[in-house]
Structure 1
Amino acid sequence: MITLHHVPQSRSMRVLWLLHELEVPDFQVQVHPFDRGLRSPEFLTLSPAGRVPAMEIEGERMFESGAMIEYLCERFPERNLGREPSNPDRMAWLTWLHFAETVTVHAAALTQQHIMLYEDYMRSPYIMQLEAKRLAKCYEAIEARLSTPVENRDYLLTSGFSAVDIAVGQAVYVGRHFVKTDDYPELSAWYERITERSSFAATMAVGEQKLYTEAFYAPWPFPERSET
């Protein structure tokens, strides 16, 4: 039995999406609110940093989403969402799997600035601008990959849809709350393509409490400078 500990719209979303896409039978999802409960002694036995995802598998525990994706693809190879070491796309698969975390780091910093810091004085428009530019750079990398002149370039890998589309797609899902993708036509088309899958809809249907209550968070204005 597989049990995924999940906070909607967080990194655990990519693992839940993958579980649906793999058509894993009889897995369970335990939904948690994004609060101090993740720091409870009980939850820390599952994830020592007090973060999601955490996953229980037949008495064993995992607490890193990238590792979960690799493990699940190996455990359920029949859906062909991973790439074996002998596969020509293995190097690209690993690269884009870990690039998802690069995208997420900047999206998470913007989430902290816009949502987690409740008081205005805590927020920094300078950090917001810097992280937005870094996130846009990640979009550029994805756009360049999808613009590569390869026949049927619908997904990040030449060999077709895989778990890396899920991992990067989830990171872009979060990023789009802060930096729009309108200026990236190939990325936008790819994102629409992967989120039309039934596995994405099933993922979004889990959990009522959402972290992002707005579709887009406008940049915080720079403070006015006084004249001297």
Structure 2
Amino acid sequence: MILKIIALIAFCFCAISIPMCLKEKKWPGAIIWAVVAFIIMRLTGSNIGLTTIGFVIGMFAYLLYLGAKNKEAQGHPVDAKIQKVLTGLCSLFAIVALWGAFVGQRNQTSNASSKDYQVIGQKLDKSLVDNHDDMYYTSKDDDDLRYFTNDDDKVTAAKYVFGADHYSTESVMNRLEDPVLHDDNLKYTADKDSRKDFSPDGDSFNVYSPKTKKWFHVKMQKDDNDKVSSFSVWPGQDDDADDY
């Protein structure tokens, strides 16, 4: 939190220095301050959109401030006062936007789910997977986890293949928590039962992820000994799931 605020103050100092250099026609100085501001923005992972909005509004506030000074020098106190009020409002909006970009972004990045692993229902991040002849993709962290996409590269389903060794449904639930859905608090059935209250006795069931606030449908492929060889996961609920 403190480091984010320090970074925000440093960015604002750079942002203020840019128009001051431009006013004095010190182009190298303006470029240097712009580069430093960009580096601060990237190192802190601030929201680019909010940072841009805050910067633009801040520059507009600076122009209004210069205009107010000119109005005072020309003997127009009323116009100068109006521009000072607008300067204050724009400055406030700029601060709010930049605060959200730097300090508020801290919570967003800490809760982000798609930066470190692939998420079903989102666009495929090809840096996290290996391509298998464009038929499916496997996670770089787990070769047994496969992803399937549509024409827009959106992940429509996932499949986990255990291989030669087959496992119980308990192992399916373990894999659902990680690495498939990345949620340790999954809820099962329409009543959103906790894990200790749910034991699937059929081949399919629905599961709710509180982390993403989404439902998923799970279909298990079993052998003659009722052991699971693989299971598939799709977004949404299936009313025909065996446990309903």
Same fold by TM-score, threshold 0.5 exceeded?
no
Higher relative contact order (CA 8 A, sep 6+): 1
User: Given the two structures, how large is their TM-score scaled by the length of structure 1?
Assistant: 0.30
Q: TM-score, normalised by structure 2?
A: 0.28
Decide which structure has the larger Cα Rg and report it: 2
Structure (1 or 2) with the greater strand fraction: 2
